Amino acid sequence: MTDLAVEQFETVVVACHAMATRFEFVLCGNDSGFLRDAGEAAIEDVLDAHARLTRFERTSVVSAINAAAGVAPMRVDNEVYGLLGLCETVREVSGGAFDVTMGRSAIRLDPEAGTVFIEDPSGSIDLGGVGKGFGLDLAASTLREAGVTNALLHGGTSTVLAIGVRPDGESWRVRIGEELDVALRDEAVSVSDRLEGSSARREHIVDPVEGGTRIARAAVVHASAAETDAWSTALVAGSGVCPERSAVLVDGSWSLSEGWNG
């Protein structure tokens, strides 16, 4: 791409607050009005995802599923059903390290009826571990369908999704840790940290099976932001299985998979 073509690109930033964090989308193109309209539509996807997935609102899909625990299967929309299917897949492959019920109940999915059932009456699900990625995936789909080809989306900076490349044709580069970057092209990356917050630094990810973990931080790259969310959490919780593109921080040192592209 020529320098003139790069100079003609405009940048539009849209943002919202959802899922207890700030979402921000940086969109690049040569029509700022088009970019803003597309960005606002994508923001609505994030707000809708929040409304469906939060367990703190009685009107959410997750609240309805939890209220029906041990009573009856709950029919859900295709997007939420697909997300729950992803969660169950990661739970199985990770040996239970990632579990939206925290190991307290089994979930039964019926693909023909499109329903989900929590078998234990006292059980519940919490999709906070994949919610940001889910929202980013929906937003990216809307942007791509609208014709946006260059954008960088993030939810709280811990989950980042790249559409295409930067206006100069180079990959989007995201800083994962001190002196550790990842290059993204139509991919997402999520970083999970065993310790949450800058002052209290409390543990907020534990292994639902063993209750402990050695990994301080993990990063995973994948085409799906929801999948990176789930797998980065699973690694910090102690999964014995590592995705192809992953990085883990143990005892102050990063260990990178062969597929990591820094």
Q: What is the pLDDT of residues 107-159, one digit of tens each?
A: 999 999 999 999 999 999 999 999 999 999 999 999 999 999 999 999 998 99
> What's the total number of domains in the chain?
1
pLDDT tens readout for residues 23-74 = 999 999 999 999 999 999 999 999 999 999 999 999 999 999 999 999 999 9
Residue 109 is assigned to a structural domain of this protein: yes
Asked whether residue 198 carries a pLDDT value surpassing 50, the answer given is: no
Look at the chain and count its residues: 262
Which residue did the predictor score with more confidence, 222 or 202?
A: 222
Stretch (H or E) spanning 84: helix 78-93
CA 83 to chain centre: 11
Place 83 in a pLDDT band, splitting at 50, 70 and 90: very high
What one-character DSSP code corresponds to residue 238? T
Q: What is the pLDDT of residue 6?
A: 53
Residue 92 is assigned to a structural domain of this protein: yes
When pLDDT is averaged across residues 95-101 and rounded to a whole number, the result is 94
Q: What is the pLDDT of residue 206?
A: 47
User: Which residue in the block uniquely carries the two structure tokens 């700030």?
Assistant: 22
Residue 69 is assigned to a structural domain of this protein: yes
Range of the structural domain that residue 80 is part of: 57-118
Q: Return the CA Rg of the chain.
A: 19
Of the candidates 169, 164, 259, which has an alpha carbon nearest to the alpha carbon of residue 220? Answer: 259
Quick one: CA torsion of 167, 170, 174, 178, rounded to 10 degrees?
Answer: -130
**Rounded CA gap, 215 and 115, in Å?**
35
Residue 190 is assigned to a structural domain of this protein: no
Residue 159 is assigned to a structural domain of this protein: no
Which residue did the predictor score with more confidence, 102 or 186?
A: 186
- In this prediction the pTM is 0.90
Asked whether residue 210 carries a pLDDT value surpassing 60, the answer given is: no
Structural tokens at position 110? 């019926």
Structural tokens at position 90? 């990661």
**Rounded CA gap, 126 and 107, in Å?**
12
**Rounded CA gap, 146 and 140, in Å?**
10
**Rounded CA gap, 132 and 233, in Å?**
13
